Amino acid sequence: MPSVREQSWIEDARIELEAARLLSQDLIPNLAIFHARQSIEKLLKCGYPVLLDEPMPREHSLPAMVHDLFGRIPESIWTIIKRLNPFYMSTRYVDAAGGPPSQLFGPEDAEEAVEMAQEAFEWIEAQYHERS
């Protein structure tokens, strides 16, 4: 079961997802996508102490963390993880995006990222409850 510290990370991850949802409402799509992705990163990081009894990593790769925590996962969740992963850089940095991120992502992109993050979030959180 998550400790108070890990539960705080889970709550913060949930707030990231809510921020993504709010930003996706035609406000700032690129940052909505970033926060959707960030919600999954924070949720995965707290899995290290919860599932592996290890410290949280200084890792940003969603696929690497998923592999460490769960090994094989459902293909639908794996697809989401791979799709969200590059948004750590491309939604924030001109060089990584090949242009201004604020101009490269639209409301549809943000809506899709939030939906994907919500699905992955629910699956990951269910795994924590089942495995801890």
Show me where the domains of the chain are located: 4-131
Distance CA 68, CA 80 (A): 17
Distance CA 76, CA 85 (A): 14
CATH number corresponding to 4-131: 1.20.120.330
List, for residues 4-55, the tens digit of each pLDDT value.
Answer: 888 999 999 999 999 999 999 978 999 999 999 999 999 999 999 999 999 9
Distance CA 79, CA 71 (A): 14
Q: Report whether 68 contacts 48 (CB < 8 A).
A: yes
Nearest Cα neighbor of 121 from 72, 84, 92, 71 is 84
Within 13 Å of residue 109, how many CA atoms lie on the same side as its CB? 21
Distance CA 46, CA 14 (A): 12
List, for residues 119-131, the tens digit of each pLDDT value.
Answer: 999 999 999 999 8
List, for residues 60-109, the tens digit of each pLDDT value.
Answer: 999 999 999 999 999 999 999 999 999 999 999 999 999 999 999 999 99
Q: Report whether 50 contacts 31 (CB < 8 A).
A: no
